[in-house]
Amino acid sequence: MINRRNILQGMAAGVALSSTSLGQRSNTEVRSGRPKRVVFFLQNQGFDPETCVPAGMKASSSLAGVELPEPISPLEPYKNKLHIITGLHGRHTSPSHSAFFGALGGYRGGIGVPPAGATIDHVISGQLPETLLPHLCIGMDALENMISRPTLATLSATGAGKPVFMHSNPKLLYQMLFGGIATGDVKRKFEARSNVFDRIEKIAAQRSKTLPASERERYGRYVEGFREINGLREKLETVSDHLRKFAPEYGDKFLKPEFETDWHDSLLEIGVATLKAGLTNVLTIGSGRGEIFGSWKGLGVVPAGHNLGHMKQPKNPIWIKIRQYNCRMLVKLIEELESTPEGDGSMMDNTLIVYTSNNADKQHTGGANWPFMLLGDLSGKMKTGRYTHVAGNRPINALYATLLHAIGAPCDRFNMEKNIAGKYDTHLGPIEELLA
């Protein structure tokens, strides 16, 4: 049944989708050469380095011949694609509980603090070849939170004061992206929302002309949001035959989730589909959605939310389950991309997956050690099969500058002015030991 509540929820998701990308791309030159894509995966509550650094490994070295720790053991078959990184810091981001936008922005964050600038995922999306949906963000949370707040902005931004919304209701996101090629109820809901969007755009545009100048600009952003989402719908219709090859199966995991992990898996399937279909080159996944909540009852984990952050992660069976679940998601990404031909290899050959936490090493942290895992070499640009402990006083911003070097858009510093860098960064430019 199509009712007013469902339509309004779809409208919220649709406008959030448009603000993610359309009309807000950086006007940079499209890079030539082999295609590239980057996936960011952030787990809340911290990423303790003891859960990812092989036992006894004290210095930077190869991962060959060593066994990965139990929490990340699902990655063992892909160890040659893995680069574990420790030693970076994010003291300037205030990451306790969460750095929020600061985790991907490399600047001060916090609850209620608006983004101070564009985050690395959006900056990369503006540098890669243009796609219909340059930057997609999905957020995983407790089932009741994903239903009550289907969109939420805490991690990504297109610029100062311009957050990007994550999509957490896979039914709404599926209808938005694949509703035009669907049948039955999904098709009817898609068409109903499309008609509503068209009408609202026309009404809003007309009424905005009568507003005072002080209100017209702000109101105009809403009008532009509906105009952009209508434009996206039209563009998706032009590639409908292509999309049919990649649309996920719209089954019980979407429609009748028993646990929140059913929707987590469904969101991942949509994210994989957008990558394989070429709808986007940048995917951001927020497990816990950048906040201190989250639930994994589908894994048999009873504690949820803030309580999980007060548990030590090393050798903790609860955190082993959560981290292994994350790693199985990473494996699914790898397997799906490896199975898709591209050029003389596969999509995975041209992809980099970045895994970390928006809380550095733990929930209550000063950010002195912020671990990362990288998977893939991004068309031969990044070293793999290694553990690297970054020496000196180098912030997460230096890693983000390194990623920009790898995609062919070099910069000396990312979101860090010279006076701030003098306190928080001992070097200028990328982290050379990560580049191939």
Give the CATH number of domain 33-169+256-434.
3.40.720
What's the pLDDT tens digit per position in 135-182? 999 999 999 999 999 999 999 999 999 999 999 999 989 988 988 776
Determine the Cα–Cα distance for residues 259 and 31; give it in Å rounded to an integer.
42
* Domain ranges across the chain: 33-169+256-434
* 288 DSSP assignment: T
Supply the pLDDT for residue 314. Answer: 97
CB-CB contact of 215 with 204 (8 Å):
no
pLDDT mean across residues, the chain:
87
What's the pLDDT tens digit per position in 348-384? 999 999 999 999 999 999 999 999 999 999 999 999 9
| 201 — pLDDT class (breaks 50, 70, 90) | low
What's the pLDDT tens digit per position in 96-146? 999 999 999 999 999 999 999 999 999 999 999 999 888 999 999 999 999
76-98 average pLDDT score: 97
247-251 average pLDDT score: 92
Determine the Cα–Cα distance for residues 10 and 194; give it in Å rounded to an integer.
10
Which residues pair with residue 69 across a beta bridge? none
The answer to whether residue 194 scores a pLDDT higher than 60 is: no
| 16 — pLDDT class (breaks 50, 70, 90) | very low
What's the pLDDT tens digit per position in 262-305? 999 999 999 999 999 999 999 999 999 999 999 999 999 999 99
| 199 — pLDDT class (breaks 50, 70, 90) | low
Supply the pLDDT for residue 192. Answer: 54
| 236 — pLDDT class (breaks 50, 70, 90) | confident
Supply the pLDDT for residue 124. Answer: 98
Higher pLDDT, 392 or 223: 392
Residues in contact with 157: Cβ distance below 8 Å, sequence separation at least 6, in sequence order: 101, 105, 115, 117, 118, 119, 122, 163, 164
Determine the Cα–Cα distance for residues 362 and 351; give it in Å rounded to an integer.
28
Supply the pLDDT for residue 232. Answer: 74
What's the pLDDT tens digit per position in 31-46? 445 789 999 999 999 9
CB-CB contact of 413 with 362 (8 Å):
no
Helices (H), 160-296: 170-178, 184-208, 213-238, 240-244, 252-255, 260-276
- Tokens 């969109």, residue located: 151
Determine the Cα–Cα distance for residues 79 and 269; give it in Å rounded to an integer.
23
In the chain, pLDDT over 70 holds for what percent of residues? 81
In the chain, pLDDT over 90 holds for what percent of residues? 74
The answer to whether residue 68 scores a pLDDT higher than 90 is: yes
| 15 — pLDDT class (breaks 50, 70, 90) | very low
What is residue 387's three-state secondary structure?
Answer: strand
Tokens found for residue 326: 């994350």
What is residue 286's three-state secondary structure?
Answer: strand
Supply the pLDDT for residue 266. Answer: 98
Supply the pLDDT for residue 234. Answer: 78
| 28 — pLDDT class (breaks 50, 70, 90) | very low
408-422 average pLDDT score: 93
> HSE on the CB side for 54, CA within 13 Å?
21
Q: What's this model's pTM, rounded to 2 decimal places?
A: 0.88
